[in-house]
Amino acid sequence: MIVLRVAFLSLLVVSTAHAAPEARLPDYVRPLDYKIEIAPDAAAPTFAGKVELQFETTKPITTLTLNAIDLTFDTAEIDGVAATVAIDPEAATATFTPLGPITLGKHIAKFAYRGKISTNAYGLFSSTALSADGGKKRLLATQFESSGARRMFPSFDEPGFKSVFNLTAIVPQDEVAISNMPIEASAPEDGRKRVTFARTPVMSSYLLFLAVGDYESIEGQAGNTKVAVWTPRGAIHRAHYALDATIEVLTWFSDYFAMPYPLPKLDMVATPTARGAMENWGAIRFSDAYLLIDDGASQQRKQQVWSVIAHEVAHMWFGDLVTMQWWDDLWLNEGFATWASGAVAKALHPEWNVEGAHARSRDRVMQQDSRKATHPIVQHITTTAEIGSAFDDITYQKGAAVIRMLEGWLTPDTFRAGIRAYMKQHAYGNTVTSDLWDALATASKRDVRAVADSFTRQPGVPLVSVDRCAGARDELTLKQERFAATPTTKLDPLAWDVPVSAVTIDGRANSAIALAEPMLRAKLAGCTPARVNHGGTGWYRTSYTPALAQAIADAFPQAAAVDRVVLLDDSWALAVAGRSKVDPWLELVTRLGSERDASVWGSVADDLLELDAVARGMPERAKLRAWAIAQLRPGLTQVGWDARANEPPRDTLTRETLLAALSRLGDPAMRAEARKRYDAAGGDPAKLGSLATVTLDAVARGADAATFDRLFASARSAPSFLDAQLVFDALGTVEDPALVKKLLDATLTDAVPMGLRRRIIGRIAEQGDHTALAWDFSNANTDNAALGVDTRRRWAWAPGIARRFIERDRADALRDFAKKNAKRDEQPEFERAAEEIELRADRRTRLIPAVASWIETHTKS
């Protein structure tokens, strides 16, 4: 599953659990077969349901307890005998008690009940599609991960309780119904139609899916599998890219896993106002932004949509066919799907240089994993209320990074053999992490568990310190310790079994070194200075002695792009951590004049923007901005504003990366050119082509009241939800505080679609200059129904708003706020946000003066 944390169109992965402190069900009662009938009334908005459940118990019981939330039961019976119903809202259960005992063996329970259709994209929910004529159409869809199936039908709503599902939906005659399996029968019934879907394979309850609405589709074929992309009517022209991408990745995964996709069809379903994407088996649900795309979209959008599709299709194997036993091992789903989306992109689109993108994501998560408020990839989840803590970058991105490291260590062919064996052995079943290690160990004949457990069952990032050989000795001295994000971050000492890769800077000699103790001297072929973590697949930071660091810096332009990214990222991290001066990083930045790789520019731009953000309100900010703009300008000069015929994707992505950074830094030339192009297009976003996002952002950032009103009118009259989102995202970057307040007030009105209201608030907070306005507004309006906040988790979104503060006292205030308002399972996210604020405060007081001094010294005429 892919979800959003705040406003950016990024693959940030986050907490998505909506549950109260809910209990686990006993394992001696298991489902065998569900027959479910759902009759939704979107206008009400409610639904009526019937369930016939076949279950089996391995010991006599007196009651049957199932998961259920906000369901009102009209009748209940077990084996034809009426049963009473006791609802426990805190446990999210319904307990059924028949007149007599329930004996060992198989039984049939039947229920008739009613439930609510939500607007919060959880359970069975409604979504609104905009049409070109200004109308609105209501669509229905489901989102069941992690524990939302219990909101539509009483169930064993845990991943370990796999079963088959037979779904029937009674829907309006003129609407389409979509589920995991093909339609088996459709017949009129009382002015509506009864749609019966084929029986599913054995699967977990969170993977069941239903969508109802005015949908249209385009179709294709991947081997024996029918592939379709479904959109709200009128948006089908944006579905072709997704169809091609789905067929491409589905074919590749079927070959990679040596196991063809097992269902007869795969539907990709767009739901406009819902967030993220969800890997329902045979019917994947996406937000519009992650599935639909214009031909002239930016390179960033194209690669993002392709990557999300690949991630979700990979789940058809990792997650759906083979599912984690419980949420402790969520990373087996999400870490592997994240890795797989990169693996298929590397194989099918080498021109995208995904290795550089992987290094960038690795660095971002290492920053989180170097703090006190982190956690292991495999973390113990006691109740469904705690599941949200597992849906984060550690599970997704660190999980994927560790898999890439293991793949490189074992070799890709051996790794694939182990994965194929794992899939074959556990198809249609549930697994834990050790099952994977066993399969990889058998394939490789190596002690996989010792290495893998050291990275998945304990938190943190190793720091590998490297000393070059002395004299003619062919030795490299390596040391390891735990890396801390700042000089004041106190962490427990840990040790890892680190697979270290080293390559001489001339590229002539490669070495693989197993670092399993605090210090190791390793043999090298010759005494040429060596660079460690070649290819950037290792989950560790690297520090070099000054002489070795200088030799590597001198060879910086000759290194591969991914190695340049790693060197920049580690140099920055060491400066932030107080383990080195910031000078080495600044000197590397000055070497980028002829750089053409987008991931390298992305690394530098991210860190320059972070410096700019923490310098807010400081006198040094103006000089820092001017210097940063001067470093980025040569890169833009090389690629220009306008794409050349047949230019490589790296140039296109470099252009988009640099324009976005220069806009945010307030570059007058960039903003003037953006305004010129916006006016030439008559203010029509559709005429801005692939640079629509960066152009609109630049115009919005410097907008006066008249420009703001023009943009706002454009957003309101947008022909689709996706078009509206493009302009409202730009408005979220506006810098004038009066206009920020005006935009915030608009989020409480129908002028802004429901699905974009909290997104806009998050977007404003993320810019940094007006985080306080966003924070105060969100706190004052959390209970306002216009924002659609789930009352069961009313403060779950607060840490994402607060984390952009830069004042140390804000961290303490956030902790106090959490103590008074947040639930126990929400506390870890608040602590992570508080620690992030402290990190920024440290950068503000320690790094900004040092950077300003260096700039002053090195820019004097």
Exposed / middle / buried, residue 32 (Cβ in 10 Å: 0-12, 13-18, 19+): middle
* Cα–Cα dist 285/276, whole Å: 8
Q: Cα-Cα-Cα-Cα dihedral of 74, 78, 84, 89, to 10°?
A: -80
Tokens 């004049």: give the residue: 593
Q: Which amino acid is at 487?
A: P
Region class of 798: left (phi > 0), else alpha (psi between -120 and 50), else beta? alpha
Region class of 12: left (phi > 0), else alpha (psi between -120 and 50), else beta? beta
Binding site membership for substrate: which residues? Answer: 145, 276-280, 794
Tokens 């297009």: give the residue: 681
DSSP lists the bridge partners of residue 283 as 267
Active site residue 312: yes
Binding site membership: which residues? Answer: 145, 276-280, 311, 315, 334, 794
Exposed / middle / buried, residue 850 (Cβ in 10 Å: 0-12, 13-18, 19+): middle
* Cα–Cα dist 294/399, whole Å: 32
Beta 323-324 vs 277-278: how paired, if at all?
A: unpaired
DSSP lists the bridge partners of residue 188 as 193
**Rg for the chain, CA atoms, rounded:** 27
* Cα–Cα dist 547/551, whole Å: 6
Q: Cα-Cα-Cα-Cα dihedral of 350, 354, 356, 362, to 10°?
A: -160
Q: Which of 37, 175, 312, 656 is catalytic?
A: 312
Binding site membership for Zn(2+): which residues? Answer: 311, 315, 334
Phi/psi at 531 (5° precision): -105, 130
Q: Which two tokens stand for residue 118?
A: 């939500």
CB-side neighbour CA atoms (13 Å) of 342: 25
The answer to whether 83 and 53 have CB atoms below 8 angstroms apart is no
Q: How many CB atoms lie within 10 A of CB 162?
A: 20
Nearest C-alpha neighbor of 371 from the set 832, 812, 844, 12: 832
The H-assigned helical ranges of 370-506 are 393, 399-410, 412-426, 433-444, 448-456
Question: Using H for helix, E for strand and C for coil, what is the string for 440-471?
Answer: HHHHHCCCHHHHHHHHHCCCCCEEEEEECCCC
Q: Cα-Cα-Cα-Cα dihedral of 478, 483, 488, 492, to 10°?
A: -100
* Cα–Cα dist 288/510, whole Å: 45
The answer to whether 706 and 714 have CB atoms below 8 angstroms apart is no
Q: Cα-Cα-Cα-Cα dihedral of 168, 173, 174, 177, to 10°?
A: 0
The answer to whether 157 and 67 have CB atoms below 8 angstroms apart is yes
Q: Which two tokens stand for residue 771?
A: 């985080």
Residues designated as active site? 312
